[in-house]
A and B are shown apart, each in its own frame.
Chain A
């Protein structure tokens, strides 16, 4: 149980850090990066809580796997939008 607690602390630490950065930063790229860190922190939390007697539940694993793939698509879309906003601002 202790090793789960360690990873729960790490995961919630990541969430806190990413939240702070999202709230204080104006740079688009760093915001997208913080969003990714936030998602990673939640993944660790989810999987640490899914552990039971040395086994990890398969259903949350599948959810997180889906989440990682969706997140990369969201990141690509957000970056494309940010680039577009940047070039519109130029004109």
Chain B
């Protein structure tokens, strides 16, 4: 059997800016309250146009689970590693809080966690996924901005979305090859 290749596909055009995902993530993953502690976030992109012809979008973002992960490369203790499914994780016990990874990350997706006494970030909720449950942010979203699944399975929702719709990835110039895909 083939390896799984996990990914998240986002249809941010649907996003209501309701922030359900960010709160769900905090409780699920013991992310403390605080403006600097978050694994995922929702940004109001700049308002376009002049009254009354306006346009606005909201963009959810997080760790991009890069196939070519800069954070992993700079980690002196190999605390950051990639699973066979392509999920970039941190071994909290190995982290020495040097923050090199935080500097290296082009997506500002890492923070220092008091709870784990480590630098941490999105894990794709692997503890849930291993039990057959969806990541907390995927599950709680009213409009299902995110879909999570296996790129190696042509019938998975993520594969079908990517084969049927154009998409872009964040900061392609960094050559990070993210596992997050934003469909248009």
Is the pairing of A and B real? no
